[in-house]
Structure 1
């Protein structure tokens, strides 16, 4: 009985210390429910399927932004390689999606034959369909579990998690910090991207994995319904990720990782195993990023090595800085704002502006304005949009 009371009290104290968690979950629920009723699949049809997909992908980017804020904003590790984990999560689930979809196509093509095909014929046909584009026909060993959804879901967690664990252990035990650690994480991302660009990597080189929006065995289900399913899944994982990150940064553990961010030498002098704390946060955030990627790329429909380019991880740091690092909701705001604005400006939803002597094409100039925005936030609002929200809330409390 006493244990139950302690559990209830600890839960209450967590919620009281973090009222933003309840606010965030309420806002996320309202957005998800509202989008559901306004979608093509259910309700009013005011939101197109493409926008539902954009919204679902935005929620996935918000989840990886939380991971970035946790590792950088709270622990002080400026990782420029977390998009590599995001991409690896996409590749792991993409292998199952592409294999099973291709298997369905192959089986349908064999359906009219008098003699049933052998397992070897089916395997050869699948290999030719998937790897013929890179001049191959044999299914690589890394696709061994591609026919098992459960195995690939485990690999979504294990592959990025093990990579982060090994990389972090080597880097942190050598006490690599600051800009040198950032360069190392960027080098890791570049090396992985260059490897995946090779045709003999086993992942179709520059072609990547495509057709991921088609769920195997559900060819009769429309994309409007599937996109809504992924929106729900993305919203649920974003809520879980926010709760997990909020719990991690609360209490003694949160104070320690903030101490590592502010004065690592002092925390080590006090007797705390700094490397263990940093390794835990680095690995945990890599797994969160991978889960976000596993939900993102089926909605995008395709993944290729260009998605793992180092510039993507730099963009991620920009999103968190604009939103306000060290504030989980700030990271979400920054990622959501930049993602939705980028979709609007690069998707032709915002008309170009004729200036007389030239025409302002948003597709060409959007990243330039994003860079200016980052500079302005750094100079005049170093705490980001989240800092402005904090200031408004404090003024409201004072009145």
Structure 2
């Protein structure tokens, strides 16, 4: 079984090798652990890109392999960020207040420190009371569990309701988008318990590691992001291989026929939808401490649409294609919108890429859809086709002219 799994997924070795080499090069050139040729901010950008690659791989399993165009997976990504962000804000604020109140004539009680933390965190929205959802904010272990449970339970409940009703196609996409929109609009409210439009900030400062420079923290998160991407890629390669992979691809191609063969289609779809949502939440928990801030705009439906565009440009139905698509588009977005791309003066008009990047992205998506539906991943087909196994075609079966392809035999 292991041999079959590795044989059917030769891309695993090459992907992990490329990821290991990339991680080594960035480490050697980083400011925190190497020569300093790569700035701390760019190391953070690369770490965030690895997290986006992971959620793109998860999206490819949902859309490219199972045929479910989910426009809500970035909501699960954002929820993972919110869950870990709650602990980061609470623990960091607790340390700061404990240090400032330690010099008081009368040492503060734990209840007074707790109330002061509430005032510090929620004063920006005119409150000082901790909402119920912050009940476990002081526990790192519980918040890590919530990183898994909150996206997972939401996906499980939503998927169970949708799939049992046999909602498919564009209607399911609209439902996932509506879920994402409702969640983002709720989080924009100040009484949501997550500071409304202000979101959670200062997440780059890890509690208890105030003396550690950001250059070191950035490379640590980069390593963690690379490890998570490697583990996620191997796991999803296993999911899409063997019997399960055949079933979910069959669901994508002809759901009715798979159901007629006796498979419980809804269970397979619910499993894929829930597991990919959990992985998206874990990716978000690694992403936002590197970004430093999260707000409801990160969960808006447009973010999930961008995710689908990344997968399409990379080539859906190929895990490495989805990862490459996310990496290419994310890094290009940072370059164009961050002022790296020079403006182009035309005399009568100057093209400023900060304004035209989304137009360029949209045109790229249309071009890939029409001209190269296999995306960036399709380029590897040109390489592998040159080394394809020769085939022999001959007459087989009781009737003359019945033909079947036999792989691995040279034509004589």
Q: What is the aligned partner in structure 1 of residue 227 from structure 2?
A: 236
Residue 389 of structure 1, CA deviation: 1.5
Structure 2 residue 139 is the aligned partner of structure 1 residue 155: no
Query: Shift in Å at residue 111 of structure 1?
Result: 1.4
CA-to-aligned-CA distance 1:163-221 (integer Å, 9 cap, x gap): 00000000000000000000000000000000000000000000000000000000000
**Match status 1:314 vs 2:311:** no
Instruction: Report matched runs for 1:1-399 at 5 Å.
Output: 10-397=1-388
Find the aligned partners of 1:326 and 1:87 in 2 and give their Cα distance. 24
Q: Any gaps of 5 or more consecutive residues in structure 2?
A: 391-412
Distance in 2, matches of 1:292 and 1:311, equals 18
Q: Distance in 2 between matches of 1:336 and 1:284?
A: 22
Give the deviation of 1:396 after TM superposition. 4.6
State the Cα RMSD in Å.
1.0
d(CA) in 1 for partners of 2:168 and 2:240?
21
The 1-side partners of 2:50 and 2:308 are apart by 17
Structure 1 residue 44, shift from structure 2 partner: 1.2
Residue equivalent to 1:5: none
* Higher helix proportion (structure 1 or 2): 1
In 1, the alpha carbon distance for the partners of 2:8 and 2:162 equals 34
* Structure 1 residue 398 displacement after superposition: 7.4
Instruction: Give the C-alpha shift of residue 397 in structure 1.
Output: 4.5
Query: Tell me, what secondary structure is at the counterpart of 1:316?
Result: helix
Q: Distance in 2 between matches of 1:61 and 1:94?
A: 18
Structure 1 stretches lacking a partner, 5+ long: 1-9
| 1:93 shift after superposition | 0.2
Q: Which residue of 2 aligns with 1:6?
A: none
CA distance in 2, matches of 1:147, 1:396: 56
Note the alpha carbon deviations across 1:96-150, whole angstroms, 9 max, x for none: 0000011011101101112110112101110010000000001111111001111
Moved more, 348-357 or 21-30: 348-357
Deviation, 1:355, is 1.3
Higher alpha-carbon Rg: 2
Q: Secondary structure at the match of 1:14?
A: helix
Q: Secondary structure at the match of 1:383?
A: coil
Deviation, 1:14, is: 1.7
Which residue number corresponds to residue 7 of structure 1?
none
For residue 393 of structure 1, report the CA deviation from its aligned partner. Answer: 2.0
* Secondary structure of 1:367 counterpart: helix
Dislocated runs of 4+, deviation >3 Å: 396-399
Distance, in Å, in 1 between the alignment partners of 2:166 and 2:285 is 31
